[in-house]
Amino acid sequence: MLPTVLQSRLAQARGSLLLCRGCLVPVGRGAEAGLCAHCWDGLRILPEGRCPRCALAHADGDCPEVVAWDLGDALWDYHGGRPPLGALLLPGIKQGETGWRKALLGRLARAPLPAWTAEVDHVTAVPSTPLHRFLRGFDLSAEAGRLIAERIGRSFDPLLAKGWLSGRQASRTETQRRRLSRKAIRLQPGASPQGIILLVDDVWTTGTTLLRCAQALQEGGAEEVRVLTLFRAM
């Protein structure tokens, strides 16, 4: 039997040999799901004074983004931190990093939400293709939407559907993304969006998918659509 002091020194040494999966330095206090506290600090909120529609920082006046809403925001900067945390987490989560997914949803449960989320009537999420949902066994945007709905005391309604064949936006070129056909996204059979709908997604890049979703909701009868994503890529 080793003396207790030696045992605890050995345990410390073993702990310090665990390397952070983001920055490869030994993880210490505040680490979660294999990422050190410094890496988790990469979950940065967006700059003050950003545009209330497109969540980007641009000069006053005409918003350069084509949007179908007056209020759109994101919780964190996709490229915040070194290494950029959003760009590390989201692809990892889609490949099955359950620990990262739980840790991120845990942070979503505590993150301040825009004040205007209190005014929405229902929450929905950008749909993933049935094939992706089946292969991954989860749908991050819907999980985020459900959590936000719970926090603000509204119902989460899966109002939108994506076709079997429409591919993932992330694997496409910028031009392909912008061309996403209006038919790629439609209302779920029997869905009838009403009142102010909060549309949730994991990451807002070009905004084409969000735009198509918002249009489908508005054409289906929504009075207004507001957008909230976990990350904004700028």
Which residues form the interface with Zn ion (CB under 5 A)?
A: 20, 22-23, 36, 39, 51, 53-54, 63
Burial of 6 (0-12, 13-18, 19+ CB in 10 A): exposed
Closest separation in Å from C-beta 20 to Zn ion: 3
Closest separation in Å from C-beta 40 to Zn ion: 8
Question: Which residues are CB-neighbours of 52 under 8 A, at least 6 positions away?
Answer: 70, 71, 72, 73
Burial of 172 (0-12, 13-18, 19+ CB in 10 A): middle
Closest separation in Å from C-beta 79 to Zn ion: 16
Comparison of 78 and 156: residue with beta carbon closer to Zn ion: 78
Comparison of 91 and 195: residue with beta carbon closer to Zn ion: 91
Closest separation in Å from C-beta 59 to Zn ion: 10
Comparison of 46 and 160: residue with beta carbon closer to Zn ion: 46
Q: What share of the chain is helix, strand, coil (3-state, %, to 5)?
A: 40, 15, 45
Give the residue nearest to Zn ion (CB). 51
Comparison of 63 and 113: residue with beta carbon closer to Zn ion: 63
